Amino acid sequence: MIADVFEHPYVEVAAPKAEIAEVSWRDLDDETVAPLLRDAVFPFLLAGSAELGEAGER
C-alpha cells in the first residue's frame, strides 16, 4: 500500500464544523480503526519521528 500522510500540529477542537458530523477519541487498538491508521500512522506519531520512513512503510 502507498499512502500520503500529512502531519499537522495539534489543534484543539471544541466542536465539529462544516461537513464533519462527529469528533471522537479512539482507542489505538480499536478494531474499527482503519488498518493503515492502527498499524502505521498511530505508531509513527507515538514514536515522535520527524520523517515517515521504514516504520510507516508496508
Model confidence over 35-57: pLDDT tens digits? 898 888 888 888 875 555 554 44
The reply to whether the predicted model has a pTM over 0.75 is no
Residue with cell 506519531: 45
Q: What is the pLDDT of residue 49?
A: 55
> Which span out of 5-9, 23-27, 31-35, 49-53 was modeled with the highest average pLDDT?
31-35
Q: What is the pLDDT of residue 57?
A: 47
Q: Is the pLDDT of residue 2 over 60?
A: yes
User: What is each CA distance from 20 to 1, 13, 28, 34, 38, in whole angstroms?
Assistant: 26, 12, 21, 18, 21
